[in-house]
Structure 1
Amino acid sequence: MLTVGKPFPQFNLKAAVSNDINDGFADIANDTYKGKWLVVFAWPKDFTFVCPTEIAEFGRLNEEFQDRDAQVLGMSTDSEFVHLNWRRSHEDLRDLPFPMLSDIKRELSQELGILDDAEGVCLRATFIVDPDGIVRHVSVNDLSVGRNPHEIVRILDALQTDELCPCNWQKGEDTLEAA
């Protein structure tokens, strides 16, 4: 699996960006949000049970990420058309403010090393990528356990201090001084 300190792979993927069949799709690549932090999170499958709880919470926290000059990108191996239909049919996903990337060929998922061997779908992986394209945080959950998007905001805050941050550190608290 791709780890901290490595360049995030180059990608160019179709995405569902709204609920409108006429203009609800876009091509999203690494340089689409050049100069921003990226929070890329993957989920196993659309039209499932745990996934929409995470996706909706990332959506509710989108302004928090924007305030930190970060762009959220969600991703699964489903097509952009499946993403669109899921957005349209699931009340909690209708107003998502971030793109849902389609890695239907599994190219990015394979480069990231996050495909579940048994199921062939993405694990619940999260990558925080700095504006220079370097991975600064990686976390992966089992298929059955949802992640905590609030913790991703906290980690982003800590990374953006470029300082030593102790356990449970919160934005606004003192950082550590090296002795």
Structure 2
Amino acid sequence: MLGLGAKFPEFKKTSVVSLEKGNEFYEITSQDHVNAGKWMVMFWWPKDFTFVCPTEIAAFNNKNEDFADRDAILIGASTDSEFVHLAWRKDHDDLRGLQFPMLADTSKSLAESLGILEENEKIAYRVTYIVDPQGIIRWVCANDLSVGRNVDEVLRVLDALQTDELCPCNWKAGEETIAA
């Protein structure tokens, strides 16, 4: 698995950004957040039309403004196609109003470059990346396929990374950092 300090792989992928006819799809690249001078939070789920995944996607969506307030671009991703993403968004009440793109890595090339493909089914593990505005991976968290992640923890870590200071265990935004 590609880890801390590594350059996030370059990519150009189709994503689902809307349910509006004719505006459903948009191409995202690895340079979008870099060119905008923003952080990127990319979270991967194994499969569309499953059980744990929509709970996470909805939780990230509920916190989308919190990520935006931190100058972070939020991107959800899986190895399903953009057409499956679109169908799932149309079908699932919690996914219709998503405010962030659902990236389709149908070739599995990005997931493979990241080293996050499960060995047997070749689906992505439940992995979250925080990437700084220069395209460097600053945090990686991987969960077993059966366990959803904690979106508040992703925000806490993003806050800590953005202080550019030493942050103690369980640190939260607004608390004292460590003076070395």
Separation in structure 1 between the aligned mates of residue 80 and residue 144 of structure 2, nearest angstrom: 19
How far apart are 1:141 and its partner, in Å?
0.4
**Which residue number in structure 2 is paired with residue 23 of structure 1?**
23
SS at match of 2:74: strand
Equivalent pairs, count:
178
Return the match for 1:38 from 40, 44, 65.
40
**Which residue number in structure 2 is paired with residue 163 of structure 1?**
165
Separation in structure 2 between the aligned mates of residue 15 and residue 21 of structure 1, nearest angstrom: 14
Deviations 1:80-122 (A, max 9, x none): 0110111111000000000000000000000000000022100
Separation in structure 2 between the aligned mates of residue 42 and residue 58 of structure 1, nearest angstrom: 12
Question: Unpaired runs of 5+ in structure 1?
Answer: none
How far apart are 1:21 and its partner, in Å?
3.5
Amino acid at match of 1:25: F
Question: Unpaired runs of 5+ in structure 2?
Answer: none
Separation in structure 1 between the aligned mates of residue 88 and residue 169 of structure 2, nearest angstrom: 37
RMSD of equivalent CA atoms: 0.7
Separation in structure 2 between the aligned mates of residue 47 and residue 59 of structure 1, nearest angstrom: 17
SS at match of 1:45: coil
SS at match of 1:159: helix
- Identity score, percent: 58
Q: Which aligned runs of 4 or more in structure 1 are off by greater than 4 angstroms?
A: none
Deviations 1:43-67 (A, max 9, x none): 0000000000000000000000000
Separation in structure 2 between the aligned mates of residue 119 and residue 151 of structure 1, nearest angstrom: 28
How far apart are 1:19 and its partner, in Å?
1.1
Give TM-score scaled by structure 2 length.
0.97
1:8 aligns with 2:12: no
How far apart are 1:15 and its partner, in Å?
0.3
SS at match of 1:22: coil
SS at match of 2:26: strand
1:31-70 correspondence runs (5 A):
31-33=31-33, 34=35, 35-70=37-72
1:29-178 correspondence runs (5 A):
29-33=29-33, 34=35, 35-178=37-180
